[in-house]
Structure 1
Amino acid sequence: MFDLDGVLVDSEPVWEEVRRAFVAAHGGTWQPDTQSRLMGMSTAEWAAYLHSLGVQPAPDEIARGVVDQMVARYRDQVPLMPGAVETIRRLSGQVTLGLASSSPRTLIDVVLDAAELKEYFAATVSTEEVPRGKPAPDGYLAAARRMGVDPRDCAAVEDSSNGLRSAYAAGMRVIAVPHPRYPPAPDALALAWRVLPGLDALTAGLLS
């Protein structure tokens, strides 16, 4: 199971830039811990949180405005993480792959289409499609159900604190590939079965 943001796509800097600008343009106040709190939230959750920072539009309008800007940025260029495409293609012939992302379905599809990776995943889940975002396990559990596998037989590749907690709560073996700009909290990183320096270190041999 793969996360998307921060694992396959170097999107967290883009999310931060877009949401910071949206907050500033609509009367809100970005807090020192805002970015770390947002990582892993579902669309409804982060839109409600931005509204609580004083952003004037309603949460559904906030979500539409931010996601529309993200789609425009991605259609211009998808910032793939080093080794992302090669890793997915290399592993696809050896293990079954799934994806559980906090991104909205629109962005998941834009990324996978642009990178020509959609065919490699047996199932993809957006936390828009489950009751709760990360750190709740809902997205990972839904992906496992769609794939017809036991979550305890899965390994999850994550980068963020909330993502690591989500996969662990789902009962999966957690592999951390920390983002250098947004490292996970020590207590979340301690949940990882393995900590890897990058996707190139993720092999079928390790997973077995």
Structure 2
Amino acid sequence: MDAVIFDLDGVLVDSERAWDEVRRAVVAENGGAWTDEATRAMQGMSTPEWARYLVEDLGARLTAEQLAAAVVDEMARRYADAPPVIDGAVDAVRAVAARDLVGIASSSPPVLITAFLEFAGLTSLVPVAVSSEEVTSGKPAPDVYLEAARRLDVDPRRCAAVEDSTNGLRSARAAGMTVVAVPNPHFPPDPAVLAGTAAVVLDDISELPGALERL
């Protein structure tokens, strides 16, 4: 592998439950109704995509732009003191960066990606961090992974992607990358998608450096 590209939410930051909690609250406060499939449907969507989903599918009575601002502002407030970094994640990124180029391809907005990198002291080790806000389509489309590879100046087929969710796994696979799965214990990926996309499945992010050496 020439590069390793990480997802953020659910891989490096234990934020999926926070996203879910904040979106649920904003929808409820604005006359919408949550559905059983909403959480997984939005995993991997870009900010404009999930904001439209809150309006069009869940019935929240604000504009998509207003909903996006309300949710992201609350998430930024929660990140202000300390992002919920997953145990072992920072050490794993440092170990990988000692050998390979490292990037991030995330559905989080740039403000939250930056907050994580600064808090974790990883800014200098992660030269490329792409938000799906910066590409045409969020996950499961491959756009964010392809853009990260382009900015790193590497062939996507020579990249490993580290993912946790159904849409993330599909996105990385569609980009032609070797997929390393660290399934999210709170929102586990579809078993069929996991089996059909992942070259290796890990129980913990701390296992990643060793697993990459075996690929």
Q: CA deviation at 1:187?
A: 2.1
Distance in 2, Cα, partners of 1:76 & 1:29: 31
The range that moved more, 116-125 or 59-68, is 116-125
Q: Percent of aligned pairs with the same residue?
A: 53
Q: CA deviation at 1:98?
A: 0.8
Amino acid at match of 1:156: A
Q: Please point out which of 109, 113, 116 is paired with 2:118.
A: 113
Aligned position for 1:103? 108
Aligned position for 1:8? 12
Structure-2 change in CA distance of 1:26 and 1:183 (3 Å): same
Matched, 1:85 2:78: no
User: SS of the counterpart of 1:157?
Assistant: strand
| Residue-by-residue CA offset, 1:85-115 (whole Å, 9 max, x unaligned) | 1111111111110110000111111111111
Superposition TM-score, scaled by structure 1 size:
0.97
Distance in 2, Cα, partners of 1:21 & 1:205: 39
User: SS of the counterpart of 1:193?
Assistant: strand
Aligned position for 1:39? 43
Amino acid at match of 2:94: R
Query: Where does 1:33-182 land on structure 2 (aligned, <5 Å)?
Result: 33-52=37-56, 53-182=58-187
Amino acid at match of 2:44: G
Distance in 1, Cα, partners of 2:205 & 2:39: 23
Relative contact order, higher structure (CA 8 A, sep 6+): 2
User: SS of the counterpart of 2:73?
Assistant: helix
Distance in 2, Cα, partners of 1:161 & 1:11: 16
Structure-2 change in CA distance of 1:57 and 1:127 (3 Å): same
Taking only aligned residues, the RMSD between alpha carbons, in angstroms, comes to 1.0
Amino acid at match of 1:199: I
Matched, 1:186 2:191: yes
Q: CA deviation at 1:136?
A: 0.1
Q: CA deviation at 1:8?
A: 0.2
Q: CA deviation at 1:121?
A: 1.0
Amino acid at match of 2:120: A
User: SS of the counterpart of 1:79?
Assistant: coil
User: SS of the counterpart of 2:149?
Assistant: helix
In the alignment of these two chains, the number of paired residues is 208
Distance in 2, Cα, partners of 1:122 & 1:116: 13
Amino acid at match of 2:149: A
User: SS of the counterpart of 1:98?
Assistant: strand
Superposition TM-score, scaled by structure 2 size:
0.94
Q: CA deviation at 1:188?
A: 1.6
Q: CA deviation at 1:122?
A: 2.4
8 Å Cα contact 1:95/1:204 also seen in 2: no
